[in-house]
Structure 1
């Protein structure tokens, strides 16, 4: 009996890209949408494509991580591929995943290369590996923002090839991207509430993240877009550190 895969998508008002995402998931054994009480037609799209739908109460959540474990445990099959509602799965990647598990001997998890869109084009830099393919009962996803699932077993990387990479359609305007950074940094402040930043760190940390994005991440391959993206990485750190300092003074 061949191994089966459930695709798990966490959604909240994800109608913008969801139909395109679902069109790229044909052939998987199950598509599960875990929705956080969307109001924009997300459920209607998921229903039309025959997805299994479960609901997680949104409450005050602005991020999907609190719903990840619930979504994963709701999947019907042993193997789970987690896909965000703005990510495309190329056909060769689907074939690669089924090939890895077809004989039942693979017992690890896979971090999948991801290409990110920025200012209208996919970046040419270092791939952004995301740990997204694993056995349902061997993964636990922390509820903190930008967390990585904890896997009971070995983790391997997929080959760094364009046709085996997730395609991230997160092509926000700069204004919307800054809004998103503001929300994310609010959540991350809680993770850093015991941190302190002196003068040297306030200066060097943003510089390091700029250089990390531009040089190590090969942002230089993207010309002016790469410079802007690297500045955005530095700006996020400035926002985050400023909020940590502000909260420390308030308390």
Structure 2
């Protein structure tokens, strides 16, 4: 199969959910509704927390950070889907596809880290209530969020750089409704063993850290609640 250099690529074709024209208005309405509900719901959470001084605590700041990240993640995917359905053109440029894949990776990892931090905050509040204000200070909150953002951006850039090193085949159809790096790898003519190993290691390492933190916090929270007197 003939391959081409990644710099010579012009666009990919996103096959989407279906190519049937009768279903396109339904899919457009469905995605538009979900997008508006997501954006407006998260904005209401952010506005409610920012306007109520009683909610200016770390738990609600974590919630605002998660809501903002959720909006960014949705915005990196859904507007392009809506545009493609509206203009009946499933194409996306190579640079746009690479950018979308990188942003999705960053926001997905960041969401996992933020959830882990939120559960850690709950763990400290429930299991160590008397030491909560000593442990969970504003500086620690900012540090945890910054570390989460830094790791997420590094992982996104790492995946983007790995994709740029591949030679993509001329079959530019991507069986998805948004660009994903795993789909990039399937289109390549290069040897993907090293790339797959790096993706697997990074996913297990960074994704495993956040999942392990969530499980650790939940186990200790449940055990602390079960030990509490029923009264």
Q: TM-score normalized by structure 2?
A: 0.26
Higher helix share: 2
User: Which is bigger in relative contact order (C-alpha 8 A, separation at least 6)?
Assistant: 2
Higher normalized strand content (fraction of residues): 1
Relative to the length of structure 1, the TM-score reads 0.25
Which one has the largest radius of gyration?
2
